[in-house]
Each structure stands twice: as C-alpha cells, then as structure tokens.
Structure 1
C-alpha cells in the first residue's frame, strides 16, 4: 500500500526534520503551480519519471524552469540507451503516486530501491526545496541538507549531476 502524505510527515517528524506544507488546489503541471510562487519561497521542482531500454527506472528532480535534453540525458545518468517516460502504471507500482504527484519524496515508497534518484545539481543551490508531499494538492518545503538526510533514511543515494542544459 503506497504511503500517504501523513506517512511522509510522520517520517520527517520522526527524523527531526523541519518541514512546512501549504495546501492548494491540485496542480498537474509546472505552469499550473506557478501562481503559488509568491506564497512559497525556495526552489520549486519538476520531476521526470524515466525508463531505459533495460527497464531501469530513474526519477530526475530539477528546478521547475530547467530544460533537459531527453535525447542525450541517458549518457549522463548511466541509462542503457535512450530513455522514455515511464507509464502511469509503473509510476504507481514503483513510487506509489499517480501522474502529477510525483516528487523526490516518492523515495519513501520505493522500498525495493527500483528507482535511481537523480538530482539536477543547480536545484541544490536553493536553501529550501519545494515538492509535492505524495499528493499534488500541497507543496512541502524542506532544507536541502535535510532532504539529503531524508533520502539517506529511505536508502537512496541520489546521483547529483548537472542534467539541465
């Protein structure tokens, strides 16, 4: 059973990680979420759930305005050949969310460590990182160092690379 936003918040609290969450109407795209920028400071994220030819999955998290070359990103992240977007069924199976709700916090649902987490290095220039808390009707803010501590707790060692152009 996929974990819920409450499960995420309970995990962060148990780890002593400060976080704040703003609830808002559901947003499915970066464009829809841009109206929230005045309310929520920090770096806002977008995420790509990708699959390579051998069936390896990647979650690429970057700053919301970052641009990625999907024809060449595989050479940077170590994928086997070109990547494509993972299917919604795989997203639910691997990360426990529906399209529109994917975020770096989905690492909490990847108990099998089937998904490689990739963070675009420029995102980490922000002190505060903002992401959906397993649901697209809220945005959770967390300090970048605490985000790394959360990922370590989930057993994920993210690849930190400059994947944006």
Structure 2
C-alpha cells in the first residue's frame, strides 16, 4: 500500500534536479518569493539572465492536452493557436485537477519540467521558436518560488528523455 501511495505522488523539485544531474545536465536554481504571473516575475530579470517563460496548459475539444511554453512576452492568440499546435478545434485553459494529475503542479507553477510527471505522454509539448533563440531557458522547478536555468539544448534533451518530443512553432 505504501508503494502505491508513493507512486501516486508527483515528482518534486529534488527529483527533477536528480534527474537532470543523472543526465549530466548543468542547471542552476535561484530561490525567490513566490510569483504567480509573468508580470510578478519580471522583477527578477536583471538577476536571472536568459529567456524567461510563459506556460499555458491547454485542452482541446477532444480532451487532448497541450503544454505551451513561450517567451514571456509572447502574445499567444488562443483563438488561433489550435491551428499551429495540432489541436482538434479551439482550445481552452486546462482545469487545476488534470494539471495536477498530468504535470504534478498547481496553477502558477506550470513549467516545461512538469512533463517529468506525465509518464503516459498524455500532454503534447509545444515550444515557442522565439524562446528557443536563447542559449539559457528559465522555468519554475515544479514550484513557483524558484527559477531553474538550463541550456536550451539540454532542455530539449530533458523533454525528449521523458517521451515529449516538442513541437517548435512560431507563436507570436
């Protein structure tokens, strides 16, 4: 019974760091007060170099889920994004329950690192091509009171290791 309970728990930031370390991926994490929006996190820009992310957990009409990670200032057109990410019809924001079930995070902590918890690959990973122009990508490490910096190519390697080969598209 204890094993079943342990398996049901989403991976933590410590699990993420151990996974990255095991893959030989360099990463740094900076602790800071919890941030819930891009505008709140912009105060940290001078302290943390690189590309900063905006993350959208979306669901289409057929129940398919998408994690869209974009440059923080990208203007994502929710009425049209389905045409570039392969969604079946228009998308809406996913609810907190499937967000926790699939990515192991709560609203405000959405991150590309969340796919570490999507062991059945139910979420399609989408990256904004403008974000991918940065050598360093910054995202929450499964919680919103820290920012983890990782190399762009290492982020891609991490995503692919979880079975989430990202679709890279122009979003804004």
Name the TM-score class by shorter chain.
Answer: over 0.9
Of 9, 19, 43, the match for 1:11: 19
Q: CA–CA distance in 1 between the matches of 2:51 and 2:171?
A: 16
* Equivalences for residues 1-165 of structure 1 within 5 A: 1-164=9-172
Q: CA–CA distance in 2 between the matches of 1:38 and 1:74?
A: 34
Q: CA–CA distance in 2 between the matches of 1:79 and 1:26?
A: 32
Q: CA–CA distance in 2 between the matches of 1:41 and 1:93?
A: 32
Q: CA–CA distance in 2 between the matches of 1:57 and 1:43?
A: 24
Give 1:99 shift: 0.2
Give 1:43 shift: 0.2
TM-score, scaled to structure 1: 0.98
Please give the root-mean-square deviation of Cα atoms over the aligned residues, in Å.
Answer: 0.5
Q: CA–CA distance in 2 between the matches of 1:149 and 1:79?
A: 24
Q: CA–CA distance in 2 between the matches of 1:35 and 1:158?
A: 29
TM-score, scaled to structure 2: 0.94
Q: CA–CA distance in 1 between the matches of 2:78 and 2:160?
A: 27
Q: CA–CA distance in 2 between the matches of 1:120 and 1:31?
A: 19
Gaps of 5+ in 1: none
Give 1:49 shift: 0.3
Gaps of 5+ in 2: 1-8
Query: How many pairs were matched up?
Result: 164
